[in-house]
């Protein structure tokens, strides 16, 4: 049986932490270690971690606050599993999460497995009997995985072969740390398996809702995509370079829609529109879907109007 290392960065989540840990302790798959990295919490989260430390499968590390990326790196350094997965400490997982993810990895020979996830508050969803669902996973190679938007950039809801992290670590940034790393892992993996079955519950807490309402200047995200473009240029992967330009166009469009109606960050908005138009030049003749072409072309010509339209559509979803 393959061993799985579960890395959980912990910071001020006393209200949700036990639910997260308990969802792991109730797994149908037995061969795992849980690494709780208390990232300098100022509430009782660190004490809650210690309450569980009597279980030989659970390792607790207390460190100064450096952010979730640094906490994940700490977990990676001591992980002893054949596979590794990351769970945010206010999220939780279905009882068959590990069993199904490992099973999919080994049956398909995949280096990464991504499952579906649900996003909402506690009233929105309760796990169905996923074990009764049979959906064949989609298997993609290191190029196909970038041609579909079904392979998500998020860190969680994935199982990785631990060996993929040799030479790869998360940056110490406040947001978008996944943007700096996930593409490297997907490219390094010979096979990635995607299953739509939701084994991961991404909890939408009041704090995360408040964060969504703030306007973030996406400097980390822009830097991450700049590194991604240069990475694929150095690898001689022109198609993946163009896909990266397209993805940054899409993300810039969504950021601007999020900012619509705010009088703040006017210079940032102008910068993002200018960057969008510069990126769009790179993909003007690149083959993309009709839907993407229509949206991006319209945004290139009428960014303010399209930001308004997209913002209203998102608000009514």
Mean pLDDT of 220-235: 94
Structure tokens at 140: 């993609």
**Where residue 173 falls among pLDDT bands split at 50, 70, 90?**
confident
What percent of the residues of the chain are helix, what percent strand, and what percent coil, each to the nearest 5? 50, 15, 35
pLDDT tens digits for range 131-161: 445 578 999 999 999 998 899 999 999 999 9
When the pLDDT of each residue in the chain is averaged and rounded to a whole number, the result is 90
CA distance 95 to 106: 19
Confidence of residue 215 (pLDDT cuts 50, 70, 90): very low
DSSP string, 120-176: E-TTT-----GGG---PPEEE-TTHHHH-TTS---SSSEEEEGGGGTT------SS-
* pLDDT at 129 (0 to 100): 46
Q: Is 194 helix (H, G, I), strand (E, B) or coil?
A: strand
pLDDT at 121: 66
The pair phi, psi for residue 84, each rounded to 5°, is -140, 140
**For the chain, how many helices (H) and strands (E)?**
12, 9
Q: What average pLDDT does range 11-16 have in this prediction?
A: 95
Residue 316, pLDDT score: 60
Largest CA distance in the chain: 61
**Model confidence over 58-108: pLDDT tens digits?**
999 999 999 999 999 999 999 999 999 999 999 999 999 999 999 999 999
pLDDT at 92: 94
* pLDDT tier for residue 172 given thresholds of 50, 70 and 90: confident
CA 68 to chain CA mean position, Å: 12
CA–CA dist 164, 185 (Å, integer): 6
Strands (E), the chain: 4-10, 32-39, 58-63, 83-86, 92-93, 112-120, 138-140, 158-161, 192-203
Residue 267 has what pLDDT?
Answer: 74
pLDDT, tens digit, 9 for 90 and up, residues 228-285 = 999 999 999 999 999 999 999 999 998 888 877 666 667 778 888 999 999 999 999 9
The first and second tokens of residue 217, run together, are 């200047």
Contact 82, 162 (CB under 8 A): yes
- Over residues 24-47, the mean pLDDT reads 97
Q: Is the pLDDT reported for residue 213 higher than 70?
A: no
The pLDDT tens digits for 19-32 are 999 999 999 999 99
């Amino acid at each position: 049986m393959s061993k799985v290392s579960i890395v959980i960065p912990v910071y001020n989540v006393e209200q949700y932490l036990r639910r997260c840990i308990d969802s792991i302790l109730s797994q149908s798959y037995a061969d795992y270690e849980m690494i709780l990295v208390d990232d300098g919490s100022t509430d009782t989260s660190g004490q809650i971690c210690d309450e569980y430390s009597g279980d030989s499968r659970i390792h607790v590390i207390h460190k100064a606050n450096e952010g979730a990326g640094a906490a994940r790196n700490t977990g990676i350094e001591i992980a002893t599993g054949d596979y590794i997965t990351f769970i945010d400490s206010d999220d939780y997982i279905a009882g068959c999460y590990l069993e199904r993810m490992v099973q999919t990895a080994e049956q398909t020979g995949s280096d990464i497995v991504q499952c579906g996830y649900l996003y909402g508050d506690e009233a929105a969803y309760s796990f169905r009997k996923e074990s009764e669902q049979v959906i064949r996973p989609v298997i993609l190679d290191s190029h196909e995985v970038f041609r579909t938007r079904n392979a998500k950039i998020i860190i969680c809801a994935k199982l990785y072969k631990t060996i993929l992290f040799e030479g790869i670590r998360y940056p110490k940034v406040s947001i978008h740390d996944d943007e700096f790393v996930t593409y490297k892992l997907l490219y390094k993996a010979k096979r990635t398996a995607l299953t739509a079955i939701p084994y991961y519950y991404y909890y939408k807490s009041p704090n995360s809702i408040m964060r969504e309402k703030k306007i973030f200047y996406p400097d980390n995200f822009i830097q991450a995509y700049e590194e991604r473009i240069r990475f694929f240029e150095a690898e001689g992967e022109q198609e993946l370079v163009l896909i990266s330009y397209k993805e940054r166009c899409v993300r810039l469009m969504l950021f601007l829609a999020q900012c619509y109606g705010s009088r703040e960050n006017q210079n940032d908005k102008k910068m993002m529109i200018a960057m969008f138009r510069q990126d769009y030049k790179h993909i003007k003749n690149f083959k993309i879907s009709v839907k993407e072409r229509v949206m991006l072309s319209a945004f290139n010509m009428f960014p303010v109007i399209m930001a308004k339209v997209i913002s209203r559509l998102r608000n009514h979803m």
